[in-house]
């Protein structure tokens, strides 16, 4: 007798899969029945408008003067052309119905595939209650969350020593953290932005001390990927009295630690401008044409082992791979203990390459990799780099590495947790679910 085991599924998953296929067939049937031979024309008009819109938007970003505004008008006009065509052909209701069925199919498919293999949670380790926790808080971060949630008083009530980053002078948080360790601190923590989090996390990792993340920043990217409460940063303080430890990776860039990512190229070039802080959109539009065309900024070369990527407009290096499938790779990380950097490069110097991104090409335009290290070189000795939101100038070549399981992060035992990721579309798995009476069986 042979034992054969397949992935188990519930009746709800199987019926959701069948509903997904039914809705998909319905969407196609609506188009064929009510649009008939005009279906191909409808498809050609829609795809053509999409291509023209993307190309025009690229020209808007890379041009100046009259051409820029003509390009913007074309980009906005393209979808209007499609709507006008649908109205005149009396097909608007047909398309709306087909799109509704397609959306229903996507929802049903997601529900059916949600029961598949998921990322296992990061292992938790028991941890003793710290006796001398030391916290650094930035009152200006996150629009004043430290004061709004009374974080200093709440932390001190739990026995923590708290230092506020007040005043116009720049405070070296690494030095402050090291002096706290010398005085006997047995936990370091930060209520502030991810850039400050990264600097103090590097000190905690160096001394093998637990690190406390308090979600008092603006984006709270790192806190989100740790599954912490973003609505009430005060709940992060629960880790001082009832916490567990997670072992996570730390990225490094020329010896400086980062918890989220380091960006090279167009974005890093723009944020270096003194005018960016006061006029973000205007500065971006003013600088992008020269940056994308290569007239302004360094020409980058990324080296990942034997692979060389020459001339990308942007390189994003992340502490662990992002789990989303969007073009720029910016989303959430299901786990922070993969021991690998995520690397995304974008090379778009023409409208044709911009349109090519719609095909999600991996060889040209957009590349995604996993690597233990990456070196970014350039034709200039100093290049702008964004590190966890901080604008820096670093000497080339710049090397990024990852230190697996370097950081002991202390988190509350009870916390919201990491947001579940949407399952990737798998038509083979969906078909197996739809046709099976019982996916898990023994024979």
Token pair listed for 135: 């916290």
Distances (CA, A) of 132 to 198, 207, 411: 21, 15, 17
For residue 337, pLDDT over 80 is answered with yes
The backbone region for 372, taken as left when phi is positive above 0, alpha when psi lies in -120 to 50, beta otherwise, is alpha
List Cβ neighbours of 326 (8 Å cut-off, separation of 6 or more): none
For residue 327, pLDDT over 60 is answered with no
Same domain flag for 265 and 397: yes
Average pLDDT score over residue span 51-59? 87
Among 80-94, 147-161, 385-399, name the most confident range.
147-161
Residue carrying the six token digits 């046709």: 435
Same domain flag for 244 and 268: no
Cβ count near 145 (within 10 Å) = 24
For residue 375, pLDDT over 90 is answered with yes
State the pLDDT at residue 440: 44
Token pair listed for 406: 């370097």
Domain range for 200 is 124-250+407-412
Among 45-49, 314-318, 327-331, 403-407, name the most confident range.
403-407
CB 280 within 8 A of CB 353: no
State the pLDDT at residue 281: 65
Looking up residue 361, the CATH number of its domain turns out to be: 2.60.200.40
Is 131 a member of any domain?
yes
Residue 220's H or E segment, with its range, is none
Distance from the first to the final alpha carbon of the chain = 8
- Of 78, 92, 81, the closest CA to residue 30 belongs to 92
Average pLDDT score over residue span 156-184? 90
For residue 76, pLDDT over 50 is answered with yes
Token pair listed for 334: 């299901």
Question: Alpha-carbon torsion 91, 92, 93, 99, what sign?
Answer: positive
Looking up residue 230, the CATH number of its domain turns out to be: 3.40.50.10330
State the pLDDT at residue 138: 93
Same domain flag for 115 and 129: no
Residue carrying the six token digits 């984006």: 219
Rounded mean pLDDT of the chain? 84
Is 287 a member of any domain?
yes
Same domain flag for 110 and 141: no
Same domain flag for 290 and 334: yes
Same domain flag for 86 and 156: no
Q: Are strands 243-253 and 210-214 parallel, antiparallel or unpaired?
A: unpaired
Average pLDDT score over residue span 292-298? 65
Same domain flag for 183 and 97: no
Is 22 a member of any domain?
yes
Average pLDDT score over residue span 122-133? 92
Is 108 a member of any domain?
yes
The values of phi and psi at residue 185, to 5°, are: -60, 135
Lowest mean pLDDT among 229-233, 259-263, 287-291: 287-291
Burial class (CB in 10 A: 0-12, 13-18, 19+), 115: middle
Walk across the sheet containing 390-395 and list its strands: 366-371, 341-346, 314-318, 261-265, 382-387, 390-395
Domain count, the chain: 3
Q: Single out the residue in 119, 142, 170 at which a domain terminates.
A: 119
Same domain flag for 358 and 382: yes
Same domain flag for 226 and 279: no
Is 429 a member of any domain?
no
CB 173 within 8 A of CB 166: no
SS3 for 25-36, per residue? HHHHHHHHHHCC
**Is the model more confident about 180 or about 50?**
180
For residue 409, pLDDT over 60 is answered with yes
Coarse DSSP helix, strand, coil percentages of the chain, rounded to the nearest 5 percent? 40, 25, 35
Burial class (CB in 10 A: 0-12, 13-18, 19+), 175: exposed
Among 245-259, 277-291, 421-435, name the most confident range.
245-259
State the pLDDT at residue 150: 95
Average pLDDT score over residue span 215-232? 92
Lowest mean pLDDT among 49-63, 122-136, 210-224, 242-256: 49-63
Is 423 a member of any domain?
no
Residue carrying the six token digits 């600097």: 199
Q: Single out the residue in 119, 147, 164 at which a domain terminates.
A: 119
Same domain flag for 297 and 376: yes
Q: Could you tell me the pLDDT band of residue 292, with boundaries at 50, 70 and 90?
A: low
Q: Single out the residue in 88, 119, 150 at which a domain terminates.
A: 119
Same domain flag for 292 and 177: no
Q: Could you tell me the pLDDT band of residue 360, with boundaries at 50, 70 and 90?
A: low
Q: Could you tell me the pLDDT band of residue 248, with boundaries at 50, 70 and 90?
A: very high
Same domain flag for 234 and 144: yes
Is 443 a member of any domain?
no
Cis peptide before 397 (omega within 30 of 0): yes
What are the residue ranges of helices labelled H in 327-441? 351-356, 427-435
Q: Could you tell me the pLDDT band of residue 39, with boundaries at 50, 70 and 90?
A: confident
**Is the model more confident about 260 or about 169?**
260
CA distance 255 to 205: 13
Average pLDDT score over residue span 44-48? 88
CA distance 214 to 239: 10
Is 426 a member of any domain?
no
In the chain, the percentage of residues whose pLDDT exceeds 70 is 81
Burial class (CB in 10 A: 0-12, 13-18, 19+), 277: exposed
State the pLDDT at residue 3: 37
- Of 73, 96, 72, the closest CA to residue 83 belongs to 96
**Is the model more confident about 283 or about 211?**
211
């Amino acid at each position: 007798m042979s034992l054969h085991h397949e992935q188990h599924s519930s009746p709800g998953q199987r019926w959701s899969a069948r509903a997904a296929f039914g809705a998909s067939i319905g969407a196609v049937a609506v188009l064929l029945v009510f649009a008939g031979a005009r279906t191909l024309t409808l498809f050609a008009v829609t795809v053509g408008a999409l291509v023209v819109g993307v190309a025009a938007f690229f020209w808007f970003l890379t041009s100046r003067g009259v051409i820029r505004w003509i390009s913007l008008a074309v980009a906005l006009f393209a979808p209007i052309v499609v709507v006008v065509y649908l109205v005149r052909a009396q097909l608007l209701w047909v398309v709306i119905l087909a799109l509704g069925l397609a959306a229903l199919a996507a929802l049903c498919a997601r529900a059916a595939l949600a029961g598949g293999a998921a990322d296992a949670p990061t292992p938790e380790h028991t941890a003793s209650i710290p006796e001398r926790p030391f916290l650094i808080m930035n009152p200006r971060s996150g629009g004043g969350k430290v004061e709004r949630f009374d974080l200093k008083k709440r932390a001190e009530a739990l026995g923590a020593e708290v230092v506020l980053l007040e005043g116009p002078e720049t405070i070296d948080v690494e030095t402050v953290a090291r002096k706290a360790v010398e005085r006997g601190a047995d936990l370091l923590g930060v209520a502030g932005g991810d850039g400050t989090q990264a600097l103090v996390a590097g000190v905690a990792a160096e001394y093998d001390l637990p690190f406390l993340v308090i979600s008092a920043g603006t984006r709270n990217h790192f806190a989100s990927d740790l599954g912490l409460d973003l609505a009430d940063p005060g709940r992060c303080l629960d880790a001082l009295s009832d916490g567990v430890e997670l072992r996570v990776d730390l990225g490094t860039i020329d010896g400086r630690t980062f918890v989220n990512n380091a960006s090279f190229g167009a974005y890093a070039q723009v944020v270096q401008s003194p005018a960016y802080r006061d006029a973000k959109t205007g500065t971006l539009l003013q600088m992008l044409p020269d940056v994308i065309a290569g007239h302004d900024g360094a020409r980058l070369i990324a080296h990942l082992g034997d692979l060389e990527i020459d001339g990308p407009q942007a390189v994003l290096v992340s502490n662990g791979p992002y789990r989303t499938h969007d073009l720029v790779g910016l989303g959430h990380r299901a786990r922070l203990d993969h021991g690998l950097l995520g690397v995304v490069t974008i090379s778009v110097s023409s409208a044709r390459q911009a349109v090519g991104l719609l095909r999600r090409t991996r060889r040209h335009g957009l590349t995604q990799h996993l690597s233990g290290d990456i070196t970014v070189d350039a034709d200039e000795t100093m290049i702008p780099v964004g590190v966890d939101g901080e604008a820096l100038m670093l000497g080339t070549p710049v090397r990024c590495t990852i230190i697996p399981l370097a950081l002991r992060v202390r988190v509350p035992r009870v916390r919201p947790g990491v947001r579940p990721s949407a399952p990737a579309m798998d038509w083979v798995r969906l078909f197996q679910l739809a046709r099976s009476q019982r996916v898990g069986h023994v024979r």
